[in-house]
């Protein structure tokens, strides 16, 4: 064995650390690929582990709910960069360590030029192809973004296949309540397309790891603590390059004994073991399968990024889905049912919004899909229970005996916001409402740490991993233990711990039967699973448990066990039918759900009768069962249920639509098109959408605009029903509709169908004054892109691919209506007309454009008309430029200056005009003039820029145009000027982090900065900060921030956010001269004292003279220097500086 050091140890002599290569055992078992991993162990002496835990505990400032206590279970010496955790039946904690996040996983926000290619991917192989092409040997992208990790002297995609994800096992060998040993379980998963391991579940002798593109089943056959077998049980996850942290997660064992896991909106495209293709590339999903990957199915879709999800004691799947980072949006608490679609698509995040040939319409926000049910909301989605918390990560449900009675039936969810000061753990309860639930009580239980994964231990405490600080990996991490004082020694918790640690294979059926009645769900489930393994003998016990009436939860587990057996042998399913007559509505609901789950077809009459049951929950699962069994006899009864429900309960409506879609009889559904119930017709449209049936087009004739709009969504959105697009296009012939969601899709359908008659429809609609200006302008803009439409859909942003076609007819159609449109007084119509003329190069309107430049009252119209003159190559451009340069409005003059280098004026003449502007123009005009100068390469232009650069170096230049001079020199790229600029940049002080950005302090554009704040995909300022009531509450509010902070302080907060934190957000860790450690949130600081808030309410004033060392915990905000250009930073500073109102 070769010994070598690989880890920095905190206490000399206290850690035993060794590493060697580990050979897997020679086993006759052939399951999976044999693997070899190094043996790495970190061991602490118990007393040193305790001392380190005590020291760290002093450094943190934690607020706890009453009756709870917190202790450090594992320190940074044992835990680093933990994401997900899972606790085994011995109390050991397995955790996934993020390794690939730093160099091998990409966040699309830092690669905006990848957005369109990424949104086009349909499979993980598309992503692999892109990465290999993008990161070819020493390409510009390779040099910019990669490190030579394989040390072959070349930077290329192969460097993405070096870093490996890790799983570690941490345990408390001494039994004193503090972990003292960590061992590497595996170190693997390093294809160029491998994501980060966000999901882990220990179950019996399996450790399941979810890391895109695979779910892995691993085993330790020789029981030495190191995996020696691995098997991919499912492949095809992480299709897109999207937001970091949106990968696979949430691995868990469901009450049905199957493995469940999820993937965020970087999507999946999976072929299961039976050969069926499950294609969900643009949305997050939750899926399940048997432990070997068979019997795979997507349970719920339309999610953004759920991280973890839980099952309550009745098997209800509850989770929290991340929001889309839009202004005014918040995460969503959801109850998911089989086949549900929550509505999110990744193409609503990015894609079309960076395409100048597309629009800014956002289905998710503009159609209000992100909020709980409202009248008129899209019918195909299952809305959230409530908008709740921010940035969810770990989540758990109290299994029954954990913590204490006060915390029974509570859900626990962690917020991750990148900062300890505002990343709490919440506890909440739900109460039934119809077939679903509503949020009942909620409270913060822990605050002051940065929680990621979460699990209940066999001892009944809640354990959670701690990222410690910031967003990136840093070789730090901890695991904390949350508990109720003295509860750990209670009889029930001691019994639970003993049972969870026991080997149930050695117990009798009678004992297992008793444990089905245990207070703890984990014990009940363990007994259930063991009885299932025993086949017929187990079935008898499970059936008896289901039949007794004293212990409801034992009945539920008995039924679940029968369901497991029925998946193995269909004959067992028949026994479930009797429970459909039970007097306990919950037992009826569970039996119906299981009959559907195993697709038992022998209970049709009973299930249909249950559609009239008094319990909405029973109705829900009876409907679901009829759908899963594809029972044609259920069509009319389900329709009757939908009519009586009348859209009051969204879960019943969703279940009905899903069921009708699964039964799949389109003619029976179309027969309802004239039914007087709008609720039924809406559900039928959703069912036909799920069937991809062109017959949905018949509902475009519906009398209800809601139904027609829903049909339009079905036809246009996502993968579309292309055969029905012509019918949707013809909706523009009607005049009765006003719905923007409908009209946008009808306009888009005309563009997509692309026939001559569609050109006429669009032109007629654009020329129709009875329609709204916004929709007429959209029709005109769509028509102007006819020859080469945007590659992304004009409504939902789905990637459609490149289209190239003759634009002559479209051009003629626009030309015919342009005089009418230009004659209208509305600015929006004139702007759209001018833009269309420019895009289509309609030269015949050059005189009209010149007239607009000369006389139109709107500066925006004059500016647009000037642009059109340039776009069409007009002979009148020079005349227009003269007018533009003399315009009374700054924006028009600047536009003229920007066009100047592109005109046919002689360079010498243009440069003289620009020099004049640099002499007498406004700062805004000078900025534009400098940008234009950078486009010229002649002697006069070089001399002009050299003078400006010399003024910059001599500090004679207005601060507002300093950045513009630098950018112009870089753009012109003249050798001598570049050398002079380099000398200037290198002379800046190296110890000043703001020095590279000093030119961004002054000269920004308030309105461009506002757009960055609210809309920039990478920066996402509004995700965490609010201006008045618009925005997030993760970071400090920014109303009147321009009054509180100087431009320099604002710049610092953007590029060095941890340098100085806002009041109430700075976590300070002090080491006093007497070696005491004090940590708290800074409330006030003077020259002599610091006032800290410590814990829930303690306030302590510390004299600075007694401080030996101070450290501020980093801000959760990432530095913006890598996400924004200096010009964008300057604009953002201008926007924030302008926020002066209270």
DSSP line for 477-520:
-EEEEEE-TTGGGSHHHHHHHHHHHS-GGGS-HHHHHHHTT-SS
Helix axes 1126-1137, 1006-1015, angle to 10 degrees: 100
Measure the CA–CA gap between 184 and 39, rounded to whole angstroms.
7
Q: Identify the sign of the CA torsion 254, 260, 264, 268.
A: negative
d(CA 646, CA 944): 73
Q: Are 423 and 436 in contact (CB under 8 A)?
A: no
Contacts of 442 (CB under 8 A, 6+ apart): 388, 426, 427, 428, 429
According to DSSP, residue 1139 is labeled -
Nearest to 795 by CA among 770, 778, 814: 778
Residues 6 or more apart from 11 whose CB is under 8 A from it?
44, 48, 51, 52
Show the CA angle centred on residue 271, arms to residues 270 and 277, nearest 5°: 90
**Residue numbers of the chain with a pLDDT score lower than 70:** 1-31, 1017-1020, 1022-1035, 1058-1065, 1095-1097, 1114-1117, 1122, 1142
The CATH fold assigned to 1006-1063+1117-1137 is Cytochrome Bc1 Complex; Chain D, domain 2 (1.10.760)
Which single residue is written with the structure tokens 């449900």?
A: 397
Q: How many Å apart are CA 1126 and CA 1043, to the nearest integer?
A: 23
Per-residue model confidence (pLDDT) at position 23:
44
Q: Indicate the class that CATH gives domain 1067-1112.
A: mainly beta
**DSSP tag of 716:** H
Any idea where the domains of the chain sit in the sequence? 15-102+163-342+382-487, 1006-1063+1117-1137, 1067-1112
3-state SS string for 442-473: EEEEEECCCEEEEEECCCCCEEEEECCCCCCC
Phi, psi of 1123 (to 5 degrees): -110, -25
Q: Cis bond leading into 579, ω under 30°?
A: no
- CB contact at 8 A, 589 and 618: yes
The answer to whether the Cα torsion of 805, 808, 813, 819 is positive or negative is positive
C-alpha distances in Å from residue 943, one per residue of 548, 969, 977, 1116: 95, 11, 10, 46
Q: Which residues of 373-385 are buried (b: 16+ CB within 10 A; e: fewer)?
A: eeeebbbbbbbbb
Tokens encoding 773: 């200006």
Q: In whole angstroms, what is the distance from residue 754 CA to residue 1092 CA?
A: 67
**Distance (Å, rounded) from C-alpha 731 to C-alpha 285?**
33
Q: Which residues contact 1099 (CB under 8 A, 6 or more apart)?
A: 1083, 1091, 1092, 1093
Q: Is residue 230 a contact partner of residue 207, using CB atoms and an 8 Å limit?
A: no
Instruction: Tell me which fold the domain 15-102+163-342+382-487 belongs to.
Output: Neuraminidase (2.120.10)
Burial 1077-1113 (b: 16+ CB within 10 A, else e): bbbbbbeeeeeeebebbbbeeeeeebeeeeeeeeeeb
| Rounded-to-integer distance, Cα 142 and Cα 221, Å | 41
Structure tokens at 320: 């929290």
Nearest to 288 by CA among 312, 265, 266, 311: 311
Closest among 461, 383, 459, 447 to 416, alpha carbons compared: 447
C-beta neighbour count of 968 within 10 angstroms: 25
* Element at 711 (helix H, strand E): helix 705-716
At 251 the three-state DSSP class reads strand
pTM (two decimals)? 0.88
Residue 546 CB: number of other CB atoms within 10 A? Answer: 26
Give φ, ψ of 95 to 5 degrees. -135, 150
b/e code 476-497 from CB counts within 10 Å (16+ = b): bbbbbbbbbeebbeeeebeebb
- 596 touches 629 (CB < 8 A): yes
Full DSSP string of 1004-1047:
--HHHHHHHHHH-TTT-HHHH-EETTEE-SSS---TTHHHHS-H
Which residues make Cβ contacts (< 8 Å) with residue 656, sequence separation at least 6? Answer: 623, 638, 639, 641, 642, 645, 683
Q: What is the 3-state secondary structure (H, E, C) of 786-847?
A: CCCCCCECCCCCCECCCCCCCCHHHHHHHHHHHHHHHHCCCHHHHHHHHHHHHHCCCHHHHH
856 vs 872: CA distance, rounded Å: 20
**Among candidate residues 862, 933, 914, 870, the one with its CA nearest the CA of residue 891:** 862
Residue/partner pairs of 940-945 with CB below 8 Å, 24 or more apart? 940/907, 940/908, 940/911, 940/912, 941/907, 941/911, 941/972, 942/972, 942/974, 942/977, 944/911, 944/914, 944/915, 944/918, 945/969, 945/972, 945/974, 945/977
pLDDT of residue 1064: 64
Count Cβ neighbours within 10 Å for each residue of 556-565 and write b for 16 or more, e otherwise.
Answer: bbbbbbbbbb
Radius of gyration of the chain (CA): 32
User: Phi-psi region for residue 535, left (φ > 0), alpha (ψ -120 to 50) or beta?
Assistant: left
Token digits of residue 279: 């294609």
241 close to 118: Cβ distance less than 8 angstroms: yes
Beta-carbon count within 10 A of 236 CB: 24
- Whether residue 252 contacts residue 261, with contact meaning beta carbons closer than 8 Å, is answered with yes
Q: What is the pLDDT of residue 736?
A: 94
Cα(first)–Cα(last) distance of the chain, in Å? Answer: 68
Between CA 67 and CA 65 the distance in angstroms is 6
**What is the rounded CA–CA span in Å between residue 897 and residue 877?**
12
What single-letter DSSP state applies at residue 945?
Answer: H
């Amino acid at each position: 064995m070769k010994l070598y050091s690989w880890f920095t140890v905190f206490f000399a002599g206290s850690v035993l650390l060794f590493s060697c290569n580990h050979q897997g055992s020679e086993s006759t078992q052939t399951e999976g690929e044999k693997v070899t991993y190094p043996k790495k162990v970190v061991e602490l002496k118990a007393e040193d582990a305790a001392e380190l835990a005590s020291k760290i505990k002093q450094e943190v400032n934690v607020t706890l709910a009453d009756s709870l206590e917190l202790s450090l279970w594992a320190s940074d010496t044992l835990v680093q960069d933990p994401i997900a955790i899972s606790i085994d039946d011995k109390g050991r904690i397995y955790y996934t360590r993020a390794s690939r996040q730093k160099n091998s996983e990409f966040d699309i926000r830092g690669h905006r030029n990848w957005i369109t290619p990424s949104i086009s991917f349909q499979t993980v192989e598309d992503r692999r192809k892109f990465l290999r092409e993008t990161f070819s040997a020493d390409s510009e992208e390779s040099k910019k973004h990669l490190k030579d990790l394989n040390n072959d002297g070349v930077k290329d995609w192969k460097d993405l296949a070096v870093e490996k994800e890790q799983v570690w096992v941490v345990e408390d060998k001494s039994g004193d309540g503090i972990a003292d040993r960590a061992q590497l379980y595996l170190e693997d998963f390093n294809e160029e397309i491998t994501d980060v391991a966000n999901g882990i579940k220990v179950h019996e002798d399996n450790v399941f790891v979810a890391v895109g593109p695979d779910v892995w089943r691993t085993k330790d056959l020789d029981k030495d603590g190191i995996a020696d077998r691995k098997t991919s049980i499912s492949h095809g996850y992480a299709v897109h390059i999207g937001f970091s942290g949106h990968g696979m997660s949430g691995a868990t064992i469901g009450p049905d004994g199957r493995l469940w896991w999820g993937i965020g909106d970087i999507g999946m495209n999976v072929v299961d073991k039976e050969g069926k293709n499950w294609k969900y590339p643009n949305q997050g999903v939750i899926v399940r399968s048997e432990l070997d990957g068979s019997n795979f199915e997507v349970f719920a879709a339309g999610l953004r990024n759920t991280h973890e999800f839980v099952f309550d004691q009745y098997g209800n799947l509850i989770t929290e889905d991340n929001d889309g980072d839009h202004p005014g949006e918040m995460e969503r608490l959801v109850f998911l049912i089989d086949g549900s679609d929550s509505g999110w698509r990744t193409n609503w995040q990015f894609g079309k919004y960076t395409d100048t040939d597309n629009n800014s319409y956002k289905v998710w926000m503009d159609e209000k899909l992100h909020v709980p049910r409202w009248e008129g909301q899209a019918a195909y989605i299952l809305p959230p229970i409530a908008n709740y918390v921010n940035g969810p990560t770990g989540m758990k449900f109290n299994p029954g005996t954990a913590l204490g009675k006060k915390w029974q039936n509570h859900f626990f969810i962690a917020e991750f916001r990148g900062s300890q000061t505002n990343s709490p753990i919440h506890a909440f309860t739900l109460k039934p409402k119809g077939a679903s639930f509503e949020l009942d009580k909620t409270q913060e239980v822990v605050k002051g740490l940065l929680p990621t994964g979460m699990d209940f231990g066999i001892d009944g405490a809640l354990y959670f991993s701690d990222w410690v600080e910031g967003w990136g990996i840093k070789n730090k991490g901890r695991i904390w233990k949350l508990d109720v004082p003295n509860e750990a020694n209670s009889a029930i918790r001691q019994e639970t711990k003993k049972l969870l640690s026991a080997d149930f294979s050695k117990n009798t059926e009678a004992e297992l039967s008793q444990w089905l009645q245990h207070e703890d769900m984990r014990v009940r489930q363990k007994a259930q699973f063991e009885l299932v393994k025993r086949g017929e003998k187990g079935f008898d016990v499970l059936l008896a448990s289901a039949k007794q009436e004293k212990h409801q939860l034992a009945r539920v587990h008995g039924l679940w066990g029968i369901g497991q057996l029925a998946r193995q042998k269909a004959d067992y399913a028949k026994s479930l039918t009797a429970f459909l007559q039970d007097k306990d509505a919950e037992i009826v609901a569970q039996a119906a759900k299981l009959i559907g789950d195993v697709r038992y077809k022998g209970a049709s009459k009973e299930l249909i009768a249950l559609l009239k049951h008094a319990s909405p929950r029973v109705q829900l699962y009876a409907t679901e069962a009829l759908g899963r069994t594809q029972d044609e006899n259920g069509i009319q009864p389900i329709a009757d249920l939908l009519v009586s429900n009348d859209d009051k309960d969204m879960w019943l409506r969703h279940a009905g639509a899903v069921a009708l879609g699964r039964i799949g009889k389109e003619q029976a559904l179309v027969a309802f098109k004239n039914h007087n119930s709008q609720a039924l017709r809406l559900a039928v449209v959703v069912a036909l959408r799920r069937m991809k049936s062109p017959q949905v087009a018949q509902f475009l004739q519906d009398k209800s605009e809601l139904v027609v709009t829903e049909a339009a969504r079905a036809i246009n959105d996502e993968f579309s029903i292309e055969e029905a697009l012509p019918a949707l296009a013809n909706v523009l012939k009607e005049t009765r509709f006003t719905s923007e969601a409908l009209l946008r899709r009808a306009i888009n359908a005309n563009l997509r169908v692309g026939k001559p008659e569609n050109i006429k429809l669009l032109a007629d609609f654009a020329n129709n004054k009875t329609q709204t200006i916004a929709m007429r302008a959209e029709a005109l803009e769509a028509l102007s892109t006819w020859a080469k439409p945007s590659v992304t859909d004009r409504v939902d942003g789905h990637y459609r691919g490149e289209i190239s076609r003759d634009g002559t007819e479209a051009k003629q159609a626009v030309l015919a209506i342009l005089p009418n449109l230009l004659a209208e007084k509305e600015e929006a119509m004139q702007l759209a007309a001018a833009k269309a003329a420019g895009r289509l190069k309609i030269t015949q309107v050059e005189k009209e454009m010149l007239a607009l430049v000369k006389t139109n009252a709107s500066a925006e119209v004059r500016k647009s008309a000037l642009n059109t003159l340039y776009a069409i190559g007009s002979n009148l451009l020079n005349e227009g430029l003269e007018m533009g340069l003399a315009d009374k409005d700054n924006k028009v003059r600047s536009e003229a200056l920007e066009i100047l280098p592109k005109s046919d004026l002689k360079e010498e003449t243009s440069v003289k005009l620009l020099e004049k502007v640099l002499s007498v123009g406004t700062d805004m005009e000078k900025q534009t003039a400098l940008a234009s100068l950078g486009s010229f390469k002649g002697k006069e232009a070089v001399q002009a820029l050299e003078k400006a650069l010399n003024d910059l170096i001599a500090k004679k230049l207005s601060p507002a145009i300093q950045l513009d001079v630098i950018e112009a020199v870089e753009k012109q790229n003249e050798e001598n000027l570049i050398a002079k600029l380099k000398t200037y940049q290198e002379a800046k002080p190296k110890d000043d982090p703001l020095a590279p950005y000093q030119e961004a302090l002054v000269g920004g554009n308030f309105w461009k900065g506002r757009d960055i704040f609210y809309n920039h995909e990478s920066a996402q300022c509004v995700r965490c900060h609010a201006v008045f009531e618009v925005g997030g509450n993760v970071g400090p509010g920014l109303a009147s921030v321009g009054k509180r902070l100087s431009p320099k302080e604002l710049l610092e907060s953007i590029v060095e956010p941890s340098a100085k934190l806002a009041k109430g957000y700075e976590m300070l860790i002090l080491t006093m001269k007497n070696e005491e450690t004090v940590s708290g949130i800074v409330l006030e600081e003077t020259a002599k004292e610091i006032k800290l808030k410590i814990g829930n309410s303690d306030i302590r004033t510390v004299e600075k003279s007694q401080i030996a060392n101070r450290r501020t915990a980093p801000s959760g905000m990432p530095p913006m220097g890598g996400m924004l250009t200096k010009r964008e930073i300057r604009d953002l500073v201008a926007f924030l500086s302008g926020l002066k109102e209270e």
